[in-house]
Structure 1
Amino acid sequence: MAELDIDIQSFDIPRAVTVYPDRAGIRWWTKAWFNNREEGEASVEIERTQAVDFIHDRIGKDAWLEAFFPKQMEVYRNAIEQTKEQLLKQVNLI
């Protein structure tokens, strides 16, 4: 099974994340959407420096989501693993 190179992107679950300030630019938040849900997750307050690091791609999307939305990322990882197992079963490899 280690020889298999399964492209997770082909059955990935959409994840979107953003950072935004209040009107004064003093307080910052991050918000995420999983699986194209319209409402998204509850916003989480973050530090300005964290927002700047994310905006400048110093922190990857998945690392960011792991840090601020860990429960949702656990569900994401479990769903990806289940999908991978189902695909492998379909080709009779496990």
Structure 2
Amino acid sequence: MAELDIDIQSFDIPRLVTVYPDRAGVRWWTKAWFNNREEGETSVEIEREEAIRFMQDNIEKDAWLEEFFPRQMEVYHNAIEQTKEQLLKQINI
């Protein structure tokens, strides 16, 4: 694909993820939004240490999403694969 000079990133699906505490800073959650959906996914409670690790960039966004939102990431990977297949069919490879 590299020799075809196609910017696959332009076909990517937006993914946003955040972590946040309760008012007391005792309980932490992570929330994700896929494909610019306004509502987003249901929040998942996480450990404080996990939140800190994510905020310090010690874990990549997609790895985080794979861990806490696996079903949504499966849909994401399937959509990217379908787009890739459609592109390849269009250029007859």
TM-score normalized with structure 1 length: 0.93
Secondary structure in 2 matching 1:17: strand
Moved more, 6-15 or 77-86: 6-15
- Percent of aligned pairs with the same amino acid: 80
Equivalent position of 1:12 in the other structure: 12
Q: Which runs of 4+ in 1 moved over 3 A?
A: none
Tell me the alpha carbon deviations over residues 8-29 of structure 1, each in whole angstroms, 9 at most, x when there is no partner. 3120000000000000000000
Equivalent position of 2:75 in the other structure: 75
Size of the aligned set, in residue pairs, is 90
Return 5+ residue gaps in structure 1 as ranges. none
Cα drift, residue 77 of structure 1: 0.0
Equivalent position of 1:40 in the other structure: 40
Equivalent position of 2:64 in the other structure: 64
Tell me the alpha carbon deviations over residues 26-58 of structure 1, each in whole angstroms, 9 at most, x when there is no partner. 000000000000000000000000000000000
TM-score normalized with structure 2 length: 0.94
Cα drift, residue 84 of structure 1: 0.3
CA–CA distance in 2 between the matches of 1:31 and 1:46?
10
Cα drift, residue 74 of structure 1: 0.1
| One-letter code aligned to 1:39 | E
